[in-house]
Structure 1
Amino acid sequence: MTQEEQSDRIHLERKVERAFFKAGKALAELRDRRLYRSSHRTFEDYCRDRFGHSRQKSNYLIAAADVYENLTTICCQNSPPEDLTTNRSQILPTSEGQVRPITKLEPQEQWEVWQRAVELAGGKVPTGRIVKDVVQRIMERTQVPNTYQIGEVCQILAKDNPELRGKGGCWAIVSAVNEFSCTVRIWDGEYAVGLQHLKSYDYLPAECEQIKEISDRINRVYSSGLEESVQKFLEMLGKLNRAYLTGLEEKVLKVLELEIRD
């Protein structure tokens, strides 16, 4: 190829590599300035109708654009000027999925994880799986021992974890203790939850037993498939920050228990 063609190739490749970054920045501006308001009530509805994806996907792209910006900023700070204008320039992400595992980290931590992932990928752009593995190894090295006990009552801390959406603040009764997570029972079933998403209520053993009994009762009623309004009530009971039901709450729960028996 001619020198001009080589230059065109590099220019076009850079456009492809930065596509997700530009999409994320554009979505952030559309959201922050509410430029969707002339046609849609919510950003979620707008994303679904205009781009065919969920608000969560848009949020992933927005977060990935921030990571890309952080990496390029730190790259410029750490690299000699000549490296930024040659083929030895910093390897940067080319898709949202590659950086999703590091969106919650601080900028310097993002840089360190990305650099290690590039090394493991043999100097090429790493996959999201490689990046996630690097993050997991760091967590395992710095993780405090799992001190939770079976039967202990904890609170779920969602922390923007999409897998725990709607579960923030719920009672979580530990049913199995793993190295870096616990299996817990909550008002609508059983889940595996990382230690960073749990906080102990420090209840006495008798209080833990009392909550376990209440939680089992809630779960039996919930599993019967009653109306949505009833399920919302049960969800509210499953998020109480006390180890007992009030007299009225107890009466309502008993009525629902009688309903499913009949």
Structure 2
Amino acid sequence: MSNEEDPVSADITVTSVEIPELTEEEQRDRLHLERRVERAFFEAGKALTELRDRRLYRSTHKTFEEYCRDRFAHSRQQSNYLIAAAGVYENLTTIGCQNVANENLTTIGCQILPTSERQVRPMTKLEPQEQQEVWLRAVEVAGGKVPTGRIVKDVVQRIMERTKVPNTYQIGEVCQILVKENSELRGKGGCWGIVSQANEFSCTVRMWDGEYAIGLQHLKSYNYLPAECEQMRVICDRINQVYSSGLEESVQKFLESLGKLNRAYLTDLEEKVLSLLESEITHKEAWG
């Protein structure tokens, strides 16, 4: 076999392909698009907040929860996560670079910021100053890069341990909800709830429209007597049995007003209206 026919000795020609460098315009476009990707969860949270606060869903849906489910396939929890994350993100932009336009506050701008909702989820229950402290520490642990959600969660846990306050709340105790800049509790300020579970750093609280896990810093006991706590438990049970996301807005507003009582009883009028609603619900259930 000749050399020309021998595949082992045959010459192989490799043509190199030169990849052109990005132009200045392309580099700017890349940075701009990367920033949009990084801020996607923040923009979604801001948009959801405005849709909710301005009630822009009212022409097609009775409640924000129904609207998010139908329009975005979001559960209420998922929407709340995004709304809360947007609040944390906005707070973190105030750590530094206050004079820089918001669109430049990214991981490739003058400071490192979150790029996903899961990275900030562990911080949503913290005070604004604590959020900033956690994030700076998490970035440091991550070696100056965007930290993972796991790193952030670990840092939060360490700070919570450092500032641990004993949970003195008792099951059945009636508490007032204190919002304190926690966007997840928006609309719940002044509401009362009944402690159904006491955890290490939070309590599970039953309110007029469901159960919520609330940090200790967002609770304040009414110091009701045991008999008064029992009265409020009965009222809470009655409201929960009547409440559903599909109720007319006027009915929801009435139930919400009961959820903000600062007394351990119903007036005669409140009792009559609630009894009427209970009767209506029972009648509908009986007739399917």
TM-score (norm 1): 0.64
Asked if 2 retains the 8 angstrom alpha-carbon contact of 1:153 and 1:203, the reply is yes
SS at match of 1:118: helix
Q: Which residue of the partner structure matches residue 153 of structure 1?
A: 174
CA distance in 2, matches of 1:69, 1:246: 47
Q: Which residue of the partner structure matches residue 212 of structure 2?
A: 191
1:157-206 deviation line (CA, Å, top 9, x unaligned)? 23343433433322211111111111221122222222122111111111
SS at match of 1:70: coil
1:182 to 203, 222, 225: 203
Question: How far off its partner does 1:237 sit?
Answer: 0.9
SS at match of 1:71: coil
Q: Which residue of the partner structure matches residue 138 of structure 1?
A: 159
Runs (5+) with no aligned partner, structure 2: 1-20, 47-53, 58-70, 73-78, 99-108, 284-288
Q: Which has the higher contact order (CA 8 A, sep 6+)?
A: 2
Structure 2 CA distance for partners of 1:62 and 1:140, relative to 1, 3 Å: closer
- Which residue identity lines up with residue 67 of structure 1 in the other structure? L
CA distance in 2, matches of 1:166, 1:219: 18
CA distance in 2, matches of 1:210, 1:122: 54
Structure 2 CA distance for partners of 1:10 and 1:135, relative to 1, 3 Å: farther
Question: How far off its partner does 1:18 sit?
Answer: 6.1
1:128-156 deviation line (CA, Å, top 9, x unaligned)? 44234323421232031100001100012
CA distance in 1, matches of 2:132, 2:27: 24
CA distance in 2, matches of 1:224, 1:118: 40
CA distance in 1, matches of 2:248, 2:94: 47
SS at match of 2:154: helix
Q: Which residue of the partner structure matches residue 276 of structure 2?
A: 255
Higher helix share: 1
Structure 2 CA distance for partners of 1:186 and 1:58, relative to 1, 3 Å: closer
CA distance in 2, matches of 1:58, 1:180: 22
Structure 2 CA distance for partners of 1:112 and 1:169, relative to 1, 3 Å: closer
Structure 2 CA distance for partners of 1:238 and 1:95, relative to 1, 3 Å: same
CA distance in 2, matches of 1:163, 1:62: 9
CA RMSD after TM alignment: 4.5
Asked if 1 retains the 8 angstrom alpha-carbon contact of 2:89 and 2:113, the reply is no
Q: Which residue of the partner structure matches residue 77 of structure 1?
A: none
Q: Which residue of the partner structure matches residue 105 of structure 1?
A: 128
CA distance in 2, matches of 1:139, 1:161: 17
Q: Which residue of the partner structure matches residue 83 of structure 1?
A: none
1:20-69 deviation line (CA, Å, top 9, x unaligned)? 68xx8xxx9xxxxxxxxxxxxx6979xxxxxx99x996996686355335
1:73-118 deviation line (CA, Å, top 9, x unaligned)? 7xxxxxxxxxxxxxxx986236374567389523xx5664334212
CA distance in 1, matches of 2:248, 2:231: 26
CA distance in 2, matches of 1:66, 1:165: 16
CA distance in 2, matches of 1:155, 1:252: 24
The answer on 1:122 being equivalent to 2:143 is yes
CA distance in 2, matches of 1:178, 1:62: 25
CA distance in 1, matches of 2:208, 2:33: 46
2:266 to 234, 245, 254: 245
Asked if 2 retains the 8 angstrom alpha-carbon contact of 1:154 and 1:171, the reply is yes
TM-score (norm 2): 0.59
Structure 2 CA distance for partners of 1:15 and 1:110, relative to 1, 3 Å: farther
Question: How far off its partner does 1:207 sit?
Answer: 1.1
**Which of structures 1 and 2 has the bigger CA Rg?**
2
Q: Which residue of the partner structure matches residue 112 of structure 2?
A: 92
Runs (5+) with no aligned partner, structure 1: 29-41, 46-51, 74-88
